[in-house]
Chains A and B, each alone.
Chain A
Amino acid sequence: MTIPETAPTFPRAQAERTTAGGTTAGGTQVPTSPPVPARRRRTGRRLSTRRALIYVALLVAVTATLLPFAWMLLGAFKTQGELLRRPITWWPEQPTLENFVAWFTELQIGTFFLNSVVVAVFTVLGNLLFCSMVGYALAKIDFPGKRFLFLLVMVMLMVPGVVTFVPLFVLVSKLGMVSTYPALILPFLAAPMGVFLMRQFIAGIPDSLIEAARIDGAGELRTFLRIVMPLCGPPLATLGILTFLGSWNNFLWPLVVAQSEEMYTLPVALSLYSTGQNATDYGLLLAGSVLVITPIILLFVALQKYFIQGVAATGIK
């Protein structure tokens, strides 16, 4: 879900990237830089006890937040016997890799991993291309039906996935696409959020730049590819990351449409194993969880600035 006021516009997005350490304050007219020196001066002067208390409180909170991850990681290296033993153990007494090995030898995690990657990559590429194309048309070309199309996209932003999946499943099974890649990818190629994000950004690109290209004889396609797209790095990065995240963690639709084991994505495989006959093999399940979240956590830590800017700009997780 998004609203117009929070999206970054072109000149501001440029300015924000140069503001060191500033969170993207979408929609504000107030630059983020002036308050910082003022605040630093004030807090540097006194109140150091209060500041220490804030640090302690935050440290406790962040530890509590990350504790489940630590517990997951520690548990993944414990044997089933140790996990069931009481009193509880903190560190694995005899660290073992057998839980991980089982995923690769018995449970074909390679297939699920490949499925997740294929679906995510095609979903991201499709969204980047299609959303920026329609975003360009909506932002810079005056054409009949434009307002209606944009309204439709905005309305679609608030449609929950659970509303469309029943007829979508009927459609996909009529087309004979159950348990295929197209069924996993196609419904996610037209994300209204992506259109909205790209339109807002492209609308902020100065008209004069685009007019100049047109007057110099460039067609719309050339203007789009040579002038607009090269300027769209930041929103494309945001959109790509948010789409990848959404695809990697997507659950309901893959659960419904991936009906054969070789088409499971990682979350589907994990959920079916965790509620099936393996439900009590916690070591196996914890190792599986570690394998599912490791790629996305690595990506997040490497690109955290863009993730967080994306949320601040669009309000979408």
Chain B
Amino acid sequence: MPAGTSRGVGRPPARAKARPGGSRRRRNAVTAWLFAAPFVLIFGVFMLGPLVSSFLMSFTDFTSRDIDNPLAVGFVGLDQYAALFKNPQFLHSVLNTAYFVLAGIPLTTVLALALAVALNNGITRFRTAFRVGFYTPVVTSIVAVAVVWRFILQPDGLLNIILSWVGIAGPDWLNSTTWSMPALIMLAVWRNLGTLMIIFLAGLQTVPADILEAAEVDGASAWQRFMKITLPMLRPTLLLGTVLLSVGFLQFFEEPFVMTKGGPLDSTLSVSYFTFNQFGFGKYGLASAASYVLFVAIALLSLIQFRALRSKD
């Protein structure tokens, strides 16, 4: 590094040169916004704009027929949300989504943690192969794997054949209002296990080995070491992983779309699917309102995440 550069080191350059009437700062502003321009343009038009429009649209009776004349739509205000929360199908979709998240998240978390701990403890050979194996479902298109799962979940399909080996008569998974959701949860757990396992594996590496060694020397059993040291130190990672996964699970759409079409009898209709259906019926206002309910749920979860992580520092 040339000696002449040391002047700028460790000091914010812009502030150091702010004396000549802020011209440096103005030039900076132009350059910076030029750098940001392509992103800001696309971001504004295709993300921020629609986000705001969606909010506004949720207070109107906008339908597919109003596309050519958006100014003629009627303002219905909060009545839209009142109607939404009186819509039995929507309420059903909220319950279904909650069921999916509340059953799917703990199941995925426990399994992923078990796999991560197993991989982290004593597994030195084939570690990469195991990681690749567990992560493969994550990279594949849900639409493509749903096809084979539909085949596996047939009444006389592979899963029920395997269950019959241990004496269990499996149900007609996808045509039963009781078993359709467990079937989709099974699919979701299978598909998301890898992501969570990788996050937990990264977290496990941050648990200092010397503390674990010291505990072992003091006579703590493996289970005690896990419960008293590893688990508490892993808390931020566990929280991050589960919140990230919940945000994904709340948007539950593709599984029911390809597997069950939301049925039977709306038993797998999710909030996203409800939104998609209302959009299909041309009820853009109602669809927007439903999507905003989902957004608020996701935003709340994310806020909890940021809170919890900040309090860690």
Contact segment of B75-83, B169-177, B193-201: B193-201
Q: Is A6 an interface residue (CB 8 A)?
A: yes
B135:A88 contact, CB within 8 angstroms: no
B115:A61 contact, CB within 8 angstroms: yes
Question: Residues of B contacting A161 with CB < 8 Å?
Answer: 251
The distance from the CB of B237 to the nearest CB of chain A, in whole angstroms, is 9
Q: Is B253 an interface residue (CB 8 A)?
A: yes
A25:B127 contact, CB within 8 angstroms: no
Given the complex of chains A and B, what is the CA–CA distance between A133 and B216 in angstroms? 50
Question: Residues of A contacting B208 with CB < 8 Å?
Answer: 30, 35
Contacting A at CB under 8 A, from B24-44, are 25, 28-29, 31-33, 35-36, 38-40, 42-43
Chain A interface residues toward B at CB < 8 A? 1, 3, 5-6, 21-28, 30, 32, 34-35, 38-40, 42-43, 47, 50-51, 54-55, 57-58, 61-62, 65-69, 71-72, 75, 83, 86, 88, 129-131, 133-134, 136-138, 141-146, 149, 152-153, 156-171, 173-174, 186-187, 189-190, 192, 195, 207-208, 211-212, 214-215, 220, 224, 245, 248-249, 251-252, 256, 266-268, 270-271, 274-275, 282, 285-286, 288-290, 292-293, 296-297, 300-301, 304, 307-308, 311-312, 315-317
List 8 A–B pairs whose Cβ atoms lie within 8 Å, in order of A's numbering. A30-B208, A62-B130, A88-B157, A142-B14, A152-B43, A162-B275, A271-B143, A317-B194
B54:A65 contact, CB within 8 angstroms: no
Q: Is B96 an interface residue (CB 8 A)?
A: no
For B, the interface residue count at a CB cutoff of 8 angstroms equals 120
- Of the candidates B14, B124, B131, the one whose C-beta lies within 8 Å of that of A308 is B131
Q: How many A-B residue pairs have CB under 8 A?
A: 356
Chain B interface residues toward A at CB < 8 A? 1-2, 4-6, 8-10, 12-15, 25, 28-29, 31-33, 35-36, 38-40, 42-43, 45-51, 53-54, 57, 67, 70, 115, 118-119, 121-124, 127-128, 130-152, 156-158, 161, 190, 192-195, 198-199, 201-203, 205-206, 208-210, 213, 216, 240-241, 243-244, 247-248, 250-251, 253-254, 257-258, 261, 272, 275-276, 279, 284, 287-288, 291-292, 294-295, 298-299, 302, 305-306, 309
